[in-house]
Amino acid sequence: MHDQAIYLARQWLLSCLDGLPATFVYQWGDGDGNPANNSDVHPATHNGSDGGDNFGINFGPSGPPKPALLAATYFQTAVGRRDLIASITPSNASPNKTDFTFILAFGKNRPPGSFAARSQQKNAAPPQAYGIWSLRMEGSEAKLVGSGNVSMCPGELLQPDISSIQGIPATSACEEACRAAPRCRSFVVRPGANRCTLYGSRCLVPALDTAHCGGQSCAGVKAYTLRQTAVQTVSFMQPPGGPSCFIVMDVFGTPNGTQCVNVSTGMLRVNATEAPMYLIAT
């Protein structure tokens, strides 16, 4: 559920970057736990094969909230009424093409009831808030998330059935292949067939379907997800005339100290992870 919160916040921040006037999230609450009645509060339009019973940002139509709703609520508080000013490239950006670090700069809060501009306002006043996250996988670890007939990642398929490297344990070879492939976040290992499959999203809930083992035995098949284990240091220039100090807030709106501009360099320096953080001017 923590992953759902991270994905939702990043999706909305990227919607700002893309200039989208609105973003819709499916769905408000989890559906009926009975497979014959899911996936939402209109069971007549769904059937037993529908898998949307756990998509909600609440555990039910009337709650309680999941972490995703808390992340959505704080997004609105932090930047929901702010104009997007620019997307900033960190001064210490890595030449690695799989190093995706995002720094979105936002202006002042608009009055309640007004709408923020989602096209980049490049000539606006210095930034008053930032949304920052990094997808760098350097220092990440492969975490086992499923085995046997629950070893399938339901995410975006990148490379089906690539041969693992002869002479190297299958898991090590597949992990190396995933790290080398742009956008790869998870992989399934089939040692018996000396094969692995790469996916573009983290394996969160393996599917309960033995057919996903490719018609072969699921014995020994395992699914792994790459997860960050180290924060990424991000440095960038705060334009002159802007605020010098910012409160650091996590994706749920929990304060995590204060970060100030280095008076000698004019740079801000923060530690970023794959979960968005917000800098709000003090």
What are 46-65's pLDDT values in tens digits?
Answer: 444 444 567 788 887 788 89
Architecture of the domain defined by 141-227: 3-Layer(bba) Sandwich (3.50)
Q: How far apart (Å, rounded) are the C-alpha atoms in residues 218 and 216?
A: 6
Q: What is the pTM of this model?
A: 0.75
pLDDT score of 120 more than 70: no
pLDDT score of 280 more than 80: yes
Average pLDDT, integer, range 95-109: 79
pLDDT score of 38 more than 60: no
Average pLDDT, the chain: 78
Closest CA to 234 of 177, 204, 273, 199: 273
Residue 155 pLDDT grade (very low, low, confident, very high; cuts 50, 70, 90): low
Higher-scoring residue by pLDDT: 9, 144: 9
Q: How far apart (Å, rounded) are the C-alpha atoms in residues 205 and 188?
A: 13
Residue 237 pLDDT grade (very low, low, confident, very high; cuts 50, 70, 90): very high
* Percent share of the chain, pLDDT over 90: 29
Whole-number pLDDT of residue 204: 57
Higher-scoring residue by pLDDT: 275, 3: 275
**Do 258 and 282 touch, CB atoms closer than 8 A?**
yes
The domain ranges of the chain are 2-136+232-281, 141-227
Q: Which two tokens stand for residue 43?
A: 């069971």
